[in-house]
Amino acid sequence: MTQTSWQDDPVALWASARVSELLDGHDDPPRYGSAAWHQLPGSDPRKGAAVITAAEMWRRYGDEDDLVAWLNDAHRVRTPLASRKTIAELDALAKPKPAKPVQATAGWPPVAIPGRPGWYRQLVDGRQVDVQRTEAAA
């Protein structure tokens, strides 16, 4: 979440000016929607200042629950950098591995041999045997 300073934000400047006008000579407003806010008369300028302040906080930081979740995530314990894999280790893990040889398994049908069309490997008496199939599949 990138924030601009309030000097570069015309909406923040407007909101700040309106709140300053409304609070001229008054205490800070109670939190919008609180019991103290409800007890203020409708004509009390602090009520309007609280509404503008709440709207500005929402515009800047979003939902309070989302903000609390963001703060909790920002403070969660993370894996120390020293225990993470280095770039060299990650590069080594990303290198292609040699192909595994085709191996037939007991109880399974013969396996097609890559690069040799028509040839299959099957298990015969515990040995890997390559056979060529010439008949068409039914």
The set of residues, in sequence order, having a beta carbon less than 8 Å from that of 125 and lying 6+ positions away, is none
Q: What's the pLDDT at 136?
A: 53
Name the band, by pLDDT with cuts 50, 70 and 90, for residue 82: confident
User: What mean pLDDT is predicted for residues 76-96?
Assistant: 91
pLDDT tens digits, 93-138: 999 999 888 899 988 999 999 989 999 999 988 899 999 987 655 4
> At residue 16, does pLDDT exceed 70?
yes
Mean pLDDT of the region 62-77: 82
User: Rounded mean pLDDT of 56-73?
Assistant: 82
**pTM exceeding the 0.85 threshold for the entire prediction:** no
Q: What is the pLDDT of residues 27-59, one digit of tens each?
A: 888 999 999 999 999 889 999 999 999 898 888
Where do the structural domains in the chain lie, given as residue ranges?
A: 6-74
Question: Out of 36-40, 60-64, 77-81, 95-99, which region has the weakest mean confidence (pLDDT)?
Answer: 60-64
CB neighbour burial string for 101-137, b if at least 16 within 10 angstroms, e if fewer = ebebeeeeebbebeeeeebbbbbeeeeeeeeeeeeee
**Whole-number pLDDT of residue 3:** 53
